[in-house]
Amino acid sequence: MASKKKSNVVLSICKISQMNFHQYYPVDVINGEGTRCTLFVAGCEHQCRGCYNQSTLPLDSGQVFDKLMEDRIIADLNDMRIIRRGLSLSGGDPLHPANVSAVLALVNRVRRECTKKDIWLWTGYKLSNLTMEQQAIVALLDVLIDGKFEQSLANPSLLWKGSSNQVIYRLTPA
């Protein structure tokens, strides 16, 4: 009986560390500057009123983000037939604690194998309140858009953010 419990715990830990995603756009001109690859991950704990992407909130929703998907993103970023400026990560929330390990691995791989590409990331967390693990990802980004979506501050004319409280940080020179 004890070994059965132990195996359930191991399965739970493995499931938590696995990231899911909802959508991948290999060619996107909406989410960041230039033509990009955009990945919408699953999992968000912010529960923002008026969220435009509510289907991505549950961690276990969408599809499993696996090595094949990661390989596809790298291949698309390096495909010379359509020049992409970089990768955009949104969701859900790429900095959700359950996503950090997979997002860090992806961002590190993009930095190694797609050296001239920029990386943008949207999160509901504030830059000033990030954990060390989340900060490790941010250290590899070019642009971070932080802050929860606030419906009362929503403005459809804002570029790359949904509400005026959100902040766009250019972490590397444009």
Would you kindly state where each structural domain of the chain is located, as residue ranges?
Answer: 19-170
131 CB-contact burial (10 Å; exposed 0-12 / middle 13-18 / buried 19+): exposed
Q: What is the mean pLDDT of residues 124-131?
A: 96
Higher pLDDT, 56 or 115: 115
Percent of the chain scored above 90 by pLDDT? 68
Name residue 25's beta-bridge partners.
38
Q: What is the pLDDT of residue 2?
A: 44
Higher pLDDT, 15 or 138: 138
Q: What is the pLDDT of residue 115?
A: 94
Give 122's pLDDT tier (boundaries 50, 70, 90).
Answer: very high
Q: What is the pLDDT of residue 12?
A: 34
**Which CATH number is correct for 19-170, 3.40.50.300, 3.40.630.30, 1.10.260.40, 3.20.20.70?**
3.20.20.70
The reported pTM is 0.87
